[in-house]
Structure 1
Amino acid sequence: MVRTILWLCLALWTTCVDATPDMERLYADLFQTLNPAIRPVANASDPVVVTVGAAIQMIVETDEQNQLLTTSMWMRFSWEDALLRWDPDDYGGTTSLVVPLHNIWIPDIVLYNNADSEFRGMIDTSPHLTHYGVVYWNAPALYKSSCRLNVRYFPFDEQRCILKFGSWSYDASGINLVNRSAAGDMSSFIDNGEWDVIGMPVRRNEVYYSCCPVPYPDITFTLVLRRRPHFYLFNLLMPCLLVSFVTALNFLLPADSGEKVGLVLTVLLALTVFLLIVAETIPPSNTTPIIGKYFIATIFIVSLSVIMTVFVLHLHFRLPGVGPVPIWLRKLAFVSLAPLLCVQASYDHGKPILPTESNGGHLGDIPVKNRKTKKRSRWVSTEDDSNDLTDLARAVASIDGNLHTLVTRCNEQDADEDILTQWKYVAVVFDRFFFVVYVILTVMTTIIILCQPKPYSE
């Protein structure tokens, strides 16, 4: 912008200060009878050949929500004016002249895909005129153009925005447009924080419109932009990736801690917030961008981890009296998965130790009736002694029955504890199995979605 202001000041200083009597006389002779509304050709059937060039200075704004691109450019036009020629010897060797813009004929070249309600464009700078009748008009311009943005590979996308210039009033028979070079000038481009300008190819077209039977030429500049993804990588993708891997620690958290489900739900809520931020960043489109696919896939995997966690807690927290672990589940957990996942458990020849049945645990191995029928040779049997022996036998039998009941209950409790321990072992094995499955799914999703090839030429 500073260079533009200096250039304008230099042009005005040249016009106002460098005026000489010869230049004043030349100016009066050239523009005394000149009509700037008439095309400057010697033959009315000849078109005016206008050379169009452009140099991009900076990308001002990219409005992705409204599909708009604002650029600052330096437009460069040149054409031959057959009515503005002179002999330098007649005017003191004057070979060039800077003239006001509205004093000469100017091609009505506009931006066809303009999207600015105020129709801002080129600044009315003064053209440069040579004694051969060649007019050079260089003018800075601020253009707001429509650009169809394809966000399929956002934030690793490449966009192609066109700037289509042409005459609004004259067809090919009135103004013939030719491009100055095969590509636009990028030597003065100021780096943009979000976009890299890969190229600016130029092509000439002749288009037949429905309004008119004659072709209209245009010069189309294609601005190839590649997005710099660093901002989105560090502010959206990296937090999402870290949060998804933190979720894997949920499977290493002991089930007795009571925080497994709470941790997963908190992570799921955080991912949902990130997805809302992404939805506000990218424009509405019929295609889902890469970053959106990654967030949706991550949310799906984390939701799946909630189901896995609930299943593990269902295996871990079993009520006493529940049946033993089914044979197929014992084989799957202890024989197949546990050695593969390096989970330590109690084994007996490759099989987990099952609770053994109680032998009864009687303290009195001799039946009561045998003890009752034994005769004591040293005692004299009397009626009182018989009653005492009967009472003693009943007491011993009662004690033996109570001890048998206690031993049976202890054995049943031990059997229940053994069964619950087996279920907990099964829960640990499946927790480790789900951990491996979750990590594999997360890594595969990251590689498949984020590392897929991006057809920039699309």
Structure 2
Amino acid sequence: VKTNEEERLINYLFLEKKYNKELPPVEQHGDTVDVYLALTLSNLISLKEADETIVRIDHTWIDYRLSWNVSDNDAQFEVAYYSNVLVDPSGLCYWLPPAIFRSSCSINVNYFPFDWQNCTLNFTSLTYNAKEIRMLLKEDADEENKWTVEWIIIDPESFTENGEWEIIHRPAKRNTYKHIPMESNKHQDITFYLVIKRKPLFYIVNIIIPCVLISFLATFVYYLPADSKVKDTFISSFLKTLGKKKQRGEPLSKGLVCFRYLMFIMVLVTVVVLNCVVVLNLHFRTPSTHVMTRWTKRFFLERLPRILHMSQPAEPEPQWDGALPRRSSSVG
């Protein structure tokens, strides 16, 4: 019986009433069709130069040609045809197509890995203007209240969290631009904002903490004696480690605080390496291999003690063997 009721209702809607999907669902010329949109997020795939998301878009509108009298068809069912549009007796059409969207958004990584990104999904009609359809946010209701869904819907049962990003805000907004005429398809649109924040734990453990420890340990190279053969190896190993950490970073096109800190540590360690080379070179010099230049002797024995307010040792008096030399006198 239910199958016969469905067949009779479909014949009534599409054959007897001669339904034409090419015509807009308006009773009179000049009427506007209200289309309600809602976005359901299922998964955030990745974030590179673009943001890929798996979503479902709720489309809801009323088509008076698809309405029927419930008393004439008392079966409990909803009509669905090949485009997966659900129709209720009032003519309300509900279409829920799944899709994968790629939203291009400007990525600002100045405060990596504590950055957040704002990726937007903008929906508008390319074929109909604001006088033909009016784009609205979906409305929901319960037994007592009715409200507008001004956010991206997330179903906890079907949503899969991303391992690198977390969603912190997901508002939705209907925009109308008064400076653009209603005859243009750019007069109105609906924008869904997806604000995501990076999970920094991985980068803190693998980049920030090692760099801080390396910069701390690099200063201890001065406590190693100059005769130690591992002094240069000790500090050069830090420089190699920092180079590998830099290669693991993401390709960055803008200024980055973490990147600047990493470059500062690399320059600091490089200076320490050069300093150690100079110290070792001076330490292993001997009178038989090198001759102290005149400017070196003057700098370390005369100028540097004066700058450091050091007193120079007095010259020792000459020692005489036997009787003291007799001084010459003007007298006799």
- Taking structure 2 as the reference length, the TM-score comes to 0.79
State how 1:337-376 maps to structure 2 within 5 Å. Answer: 354=313, 357=316, 360=319, 365-366=321-322
Which ranges in structure 2 are unaligned for 5 or more consecutive residues?
139-148, 324-332
| 1:84-110 Cα shifts (integer Å, max 9, x gaps) | 11110111x2465231144xxxxxxxx
Q: How far apart, in 1, do the equivalents of 2:267 and 2:192 lie?
A: 43
Provide the residue aligned with 1:263 in structure 2.
234
User: Is the CA contact (8 Å cut-off) linking 1:151 and 1:289 kept in structure 2?
Assistant: yes
Q: How far apart, in 1, do the equivalents of 2:220 and 2:314 lie?
A: 33
Q: How many Å apart are 1:293 and its aligned residue? A: 1.1
Q: How many Å apart are 1:244 and its aligned residue? A: 2.0
Provide the residue aligned with 1:26 in structure 2.
9
Which amino acid is 1:60 matched to? Answer: I
Q: How far apart, in 1, do the equivalents of 2:38 and 2:116 lie?
A: 24
State how 1:148-227 maps to structure 2 within 5 Å. Answer: 148-180=106-138, 181-188=149-156, 189-206=159-176, 213=184, 215-227=186-198
Q: How many Å apart are 1:273 and its aligned residue? A: 2.6
State how 1:228-239 maps to structure 2 within 5 Å. Answer: 228-239=199-210
User: Is the CA contact (8 Å cut-off) linking 1:163 and 1:221 kept in structure 2?
Assistant: yes
Which amino acid is 1:233 matched to? Answer: I
Asked if 1:309 is matched to 2:276, the reply is: yes
Give runs of ≥4 in structure 1 deviating > 6 Å. Answer: none
| 1:245-267 Cα shifts (integer Å, max 9, x gaps) | 22111111112224434433332
Give the match's secondary structure for 1:255.
coil
User: Is the CA contact (8 Å cut-off) linking 1:170 and 1:216 kept in structure 2?
Assistant: no
Q: Which has the larger radius of gyration?
A: 1
Choose which of 70, 83, 100 in structure 1 pairs with 2:81: 100
Provide the residue aligned with 1:56 in structure 2.
41
Residues 270 and 355 of structure 1: CA distance in aligned 2, closer, same or farther (over 3 Å): farther
Asked if 1:329 is matched to 2:304, the reply is: yes
User: Is the CA contact (8 Å cut-off) linking 1:96 and 1:129 kept in structure 2?
Assistant: no
Q: How far apart, in 2, do the equivalents of 1:101 and 1:163 lie?
A: 27
Q: How many Å apart are 1:153 and its aligned residue? A: 1.5
Query: What percent identity do the matched residue pairs reach?
Result: 30
Provide the residue aligned with 1:77 in structure 2.
59
Q: How far apart, in 2, do the equivalents of 1:356 and 1:254 lie?
A: 33
Q: How many Å apart are 1:313 and its aligned residue? A: 4.4
User: Is the CA contact (8 Å cut-off) linking 1:209 and 1:215 kept in structure 2?
Assistant: yes
Choose which of 259, 265, 270 in structure 2 pairs with 1:298: 265
Residues 268 and 358 of structure 1: CA distance in aligned 2, closer, same or farther (over 3 Å): farther
Q: How many Å apart are 1:297 and its aligned residue? A: 1.1
| 1:378-437 Cα shifts (integer Å, max 9, x gaps) | xxxxxxxxxxxxxxxxxxxxxxxxxxxxxxxxxxxxxxxxxxxxxxxxxxxxxxxxxxxx
Which amino acid is 2:259 matched to? Answer: G
Q: How far apart, in 1, do the equivalents of 2:209 and 2:279 lie?
A: 29
Q: How far apart, in 2, do the equivalents of 1:216 and 1:172 lie?
A: 6
More deviation in 68-77 or 29-38? 68-77
User: Is the CA contact (8 Å cut-off) linking 1:49 and 1:177 kept in structure 2?
Assistant: yes
How many pairs were matched up?
299
Which ranges in structure 1 are unaligned for 5 or more consecutive residues?
1-17, 103-125, 336-350, 368-458
Provide the residue aligned with 2:217 in structure 1.
246
Q: How far apart, in 2, do the equivalents of 1:260 and 1:179 lie?
A: 68
User: Is the CA contact (8 Å cut-off) linking 1:52 and 1:76 kept in structure 2?
Assistant: yes
Which amino acid is 1:145 matched to? Answer: S
Q: Which has the higher helix share?
A: 1
Which amino acid is 1:25 matched to? Answer: R
Two-structure CA RMSD over aligned residues (Å): 2.9
- Taking structure 1 as the reference length, the TM-score comes to 0.59
Give the match's secondary structure for 1:301.
helix
User: Is the CA contact (8 Å cut-off) linking 2:40 and 2:57 kept in structure 1?
Assistant: yes
Give the match's secondary structure for 2:65.
coil
User: Is the CA contact (8 Å cut-off) linking 1:73 and 1:141 kept in structure 2?
Assistant: yes
Give the match's secondary structure for 2:218.
helix
Which amino acid is 1:203 matched to? Answer: K
Which amino acid is 1:184 matched to? Answer: I
Give the match's secondary structure for 1:198.
strand
